Structure formats: C-alpha cells, structure tokens
Structure 1
Amino acid sequence: MDKQLLIFDFDGTLIDSVPDLADATNAMLTTLGKETYPIETIRNWIGNGSRLLVERALVGKVKVLEGELTVEEADHAEQIFFDAYKNLSGSKTVAYPDVDNGLKKLKDAGYTLALVTNKPIRFVPKILQSFGWQDLFSEVLGGDSLSTKKPDPAPLLHVCEALNVSPEQAVMIGDSKNDILAGQNANMDTLGLSYGYNYGQDIRELNPTEAFDGFADLVTWIMRDKA
C-alpha cells in the first residue's frame, strides 16, 4: 500500500479491553447502589470515550436523553469509574490475534505508526507498556488530548501535521463508525476491522476503503506491494 502513515484506533482494533471496562463500569454502578449489567450489554456502550460509557451505564441504554442526568451526577460517576478502572486497568485486557506481530512487521517495513483513541490519555501509556508497544507509535492521542475526538477529523489531522505527512499519505484503521467517519472526514483512506465494537453494525456498511475480518489479513493487504 503506497501510504506513509498508518493511524490505528486502540480499543476494539488492537486490544480487547471490554472485560476491564465492564468490571470498572459495574464497580461504579455498585458503588452508586445501582443495578449492574452483563458484559455483552456494556460492550455496546463502548467506543465514544469514558463519559458516554458512564452516562449510558447510569441510564441503562445507548441513547442518553437530554435532562436524564445532571452534570454533577455524571461527573461524580465518571470519577468513580476512573478510580475503579485505574485499579484494574490492563489486568484482563488482551491484544487481538496477530496484532503484536503485525504491528512490528508494519514498523519494520518502514511505515510510520500512530495511535488515536477515544480512551482518556492517562490510561494509554500503561497499557502500551504492558504489551511492549511504547516505542512503536510516533504519535499517541487520547480522547481528551484535544478539545474534540473521533468522529471529528481534528485528531487525525493533528497527527498528520505533527508528523509532517499529508492526509492523502495517511490511512485510518479502526473497528467502529467513529474511526471510519473520522478518516472520511479527514479525506483519508480508511480500513475497517469487523471484530471490534461497532454497536452491532457491520463495519462494511460505513463504506471503508477496505474491510477485514482479521488483523493478519489487514497486514497482508497493506504490505502486498512490499513483497
């Protein structure tokens, strides 16, 4: 693939962090004296950053209506969630199959790798370190690194500017509509992965440039011109 910069999403693309996020969510709900939820329910609330996950858990559904929660309620709950997640962050989080080897293969082939996640940045370095990936990415942005996050194109364009790469020379790779829309909004090619967290929607419905069912297939496709 004749591109220079590969921008990856994190949760649902490189790592499966649902077990830890679900545990933290249920710990928060328990602390607040509320009903907890099975992991499969919580899985559908993940992908838009911690604030929306917390709000969805508090009301028990994906769509949070205006006026259902006060800012104070959500702030308080989010702080409890952060404390719970910090204490178990990474204990059940695993890399998806072929990701570790695939990332190193792409880096060795000369691609520049970057990470743009909606996860709060404070939790990212520890997880990267746990997999030994801290030196793979030339730029790392969290959901609160800038004033806006995916699907807004700003984080992707920020990374391009920081690394002096034009959006035409970059690709956004992710598992959810936030990733594909962010890439499309930034006028860059997008590669979708079908195994992550996309609210029950097939990633192919969002018309990424290409879509794959496994990370190894993605790597093979990217590197097909390097053979």
Structure 2
Amino acid sequence: MRELKKLPELLLFDLDGTLAKTKEQIAYAAQATLKRFNYPIPSVDDVGRYIGNGINMMLVRSIFGKVDVSPDMLPADQMAKIREVFNEEYLNGLNANFALYDGVYEGINKFKALGMKMAVVTNKAEMFAKPLIGYMGFNDYFDYVLGGEVIKERKPDPFPLLYVCQKLGVDPHNAVMVGDSDNDVLAGQRADMVTVAFTYGYNSGKDVRNCHPDYVFDRFGVFTDFIMSLKNNTESLD
C-alpha cells in the first residue's frame, strides 16, 4: 500500500461517478439515440452499469444488453452513425439531469485554497467533459482537463495520467489518482501513484475494493477531511 504522509502536489480526478452523478444524463441520451435506430431501449440503471470505458463501449453494451462486449461487434459505419446521433443528443442535454456528489463542491474549494493543482482525467470525450465541468461550476478550478479522445491511450492505461503530470510539471509520485472504478485505480497503480477510490460511483456493478486501491472512501467529505489532515503533516515536515 502506498501511503500519503503529506499533501500531494496534484489531485487527478475522474469525472463521471466521482465528481458528478451523470447516470441519468448519459442514459437519457443513450435511450433517445437507440430509439432513433429502433434498438431495444435499456433502463437508466442498465446504462449506469455500462458506463466506464468510454461512450462507444457504453453504446455497444446498451445495444447488446451486456457488459462483456467489443465496439467491433457493430460495423464501423453503423457505429459512426450511432455515435454521431448520441453526440447530438448528449450535447443538447449536458446542462440538465446531473448533480455533484455530496461534499464535492466544498472539497474542491478547500483543495483550491490549499494551492494544490487539480486536473480531470476522464474517458469521456473532451467535447462533453469541458462543458459539463462548466455547468458544474468548476470552470476556473482545474489546471488541466484531459478527455478520452485527445490521446490514443485511455484509462486503465497509465499514460493519460502521466501525460497530465508532464503537462503540469508534477512528478507522478507527488500525484494522487482519485476515481470510482477499476479503470481509475489500475491506471494509478500502473503510473506508480497513490490511488483513492469511492464506493458510490460507476464500476459496472463490481466492488472497487477488489482492485486494491490505497484508500477507499464512501463519501467525498471524508476524503476531504483526510486531505485536510495532511496539511499539518506537510507544515511539520517543511
């Protein structure tokens, strides 16, 4: 287990299921999309189970009704048409049907006041992530936002995390990956950084504890308290 003994220099956050409840928002767009192509309509809860590996994977899972799928199960031209419609539906609904998890707004403000760098590393496309972060009220809080289509690697590959660390001039050993899924924890572990997982998010129905994150929290506020407790340690070490 990697242990945090002082304030990290950088907090890397996942977005969906970590900072914001977006299951309904994503599900409504997916339902509207599949309806236009005459596919069976999944429930909101089913779509929630399919979130976590990018939009195309979520759509294919929704179409086939199971988690264990591959995007190439659909012809590339058909996938492109479905994704184009989803993009339209989702962009039109980004300002509604989401909510910050309890304690997120207060926590992000406290971390900002401490002077820590913060970034979002998400498999969600940047064209959705950046506007959503704005609707969340966090336009001026994050030092970097990396969406899933900007580089070819995606979580659980560690490179997106290392890429953001490089952009912000932070040693990965001084960064913490904070998320709600196996993808987040595995990416952080492979980047050799401390990992924090929340139990309340989207992890395809699996228990995120099974991938052995360094710290597990049931509420964002408890995580905030933990980070704030490191402030005294940092001051005593300086």
Q: Same fold (TM over 0.5)?
A: yes
Question: Is residue 94 of structure 2 the alignment partner of residue 110 of structure 1?
Answer: no
Question: Would the aligned equivalents of 2:176 and 2:196 in 1 still touch at CA under 8 Å?
Answer: yes
Partner residue in 1 for 2:3: none
Q: 1:76 aligns with which of 73, 81, 85?
A: 81
Residues 221 and 67 (structure 1), Cα distance of their counterparts in 2 relative to 1, 3 Å cut: closer
TM-score where L is the length of structure 2: 0.92
Q: In the TM superposition, what whole-angstrom CA distance separates every residue of 1:33-54 from its partner, at most 9, and x where no partner exists? A: 1110111111110011111011
Residues 153 and 70 (structure 1), Cα distance of their counterparts in 2 relative to 1, 3 Å cut: same
Partner residue in 2 for 1:152: 157
Q: 1:132 aligns with which of 131, 137, 140?
A: 137
Question: Would the aligned equivalents of 2:13 and 2:120 in 1 still touch at CA under 8 Å?
Answer: yes
Question: Would the aligned equivalents of 2:25 and 2:94 in 1 still touch at CA under 8 Å?
Answer: yes
Residues 7 and 33 (structure 1), Cα distance of their counterparts in 2 relative to 1, 3 Å cut: same
Write out aligned runs for 1:23-42 (5 A): 23-42=28-47
Question: Would the aligned equivalents of 2:46 and 2:62 in 1 still touch at CA under 8 Å?
Answer: no
Question: Is residue 200 of structure 2 the alignment partner of residue 195 of structure 1?
Answer: yes
Moved more, 143-152 or 172-181: 143-152
Partner residue in 2 for 1:19: 24
Question: Is residue 149 of structure 2 the alignment partner of residue 182 of structure 1?
Answer: no
Structure 1 position 109, deviation (Å): 1.2
Question: Would the aligned equivalents of 1:59 and 1:68 in 2 still touch at CA under 8 Å?
Answer: no
Distance 1:10 1:119 in 2: 8
Structure 1 position 65, deviation (Å): 5.2
- Aligned to 1:137, the other structure's residue is in SS state coil
Question: Would the aligned equivalents of 1:43 and 1:197 in 2 still touch at CA under 8 Å?
Answer: yes
Structure 1 position 175, deviation (Å): 0.2
Question: Would the aligned equivalents of 2:118 and 2:143 in 1 still touch at CA under 8 Å?
Answer: yes
- The one-letter code of the counterpart of 2:223 is L
Q: In the TM superposition, what whole-angstrom CA distance separates every residue of 1:115-148 from its partner, at most 9, and x where no partner exists? A: 1011100012211111220111111100111111
Structure 1 runs of 4+ aligned residues shifted over 4 Å read none
Question: Would the aligned equivalents of 2:60 and 2:71 in 1 still touch at CA under 8 Å?
Answer: no
TM-score where L is the length of structure 1: 0.96
Count of residues paired in the alignment: 227
Q: 2:53 aligns with which of 48, 52, 73?
A: 48
Q: Identity across aligned pairs (percent)?
A: 37
Residues 66 and 92 (structure 1), Cα distance of their counterparts in 2 relative to 1, 3 Å cut: closer
- The one-letter code of the counterpart of 1:130 is Y
Unaligned runs of 5+ in 2: 1-5, 233-238
Q: 2:177 aligns with which of 172, 177, 183?
A: 172
- The one-letter code of the counterpart of 1:92 is N
Residues 65 and 113 (structure 1), Cα distance of their counterparts in 2 relative to 1, 3 Å cut: closer
Q: In the TM superposition, what whole-angstrom CA distance separates every residue of 1:80-109 from its partner, at most 9, and x where no partner exists? A: 111111111131011111101110101101
Structure 1 position 66, deviation (Å): 7.7
- The one-letter code of the counterpart of 1:20 is Q
- The one-letter code of the counterpart of 1:215 is F
Question: Is residue 220 of structure 2 the alignment partner of residue 215 of structure 1?
Answer: yes
Structure 1 position 67, deviation (Å): 6.0
Q: 1:89 aligns with which of 81, 85, 94?
A: 94
Distance 2:154 2:41 in 1: 28
- The one-letter code of the counterpart of 1:181 is L
- The one-letter code of the counterpart of 1:117 is T
Question: Is residue 95 of structure 2 the alignment partner of residue 100 of structure 1?
Answer: no
Distance 1:122 1:71 in 2: 21
- The one-letter code of the counterpart of 1:69 is L
Unaligned runs of 5+ in 1: none
Residues 100 and 147 (structure 1), Cα distance of their counterparts in 2 relative to 1, 3 Å cut: same
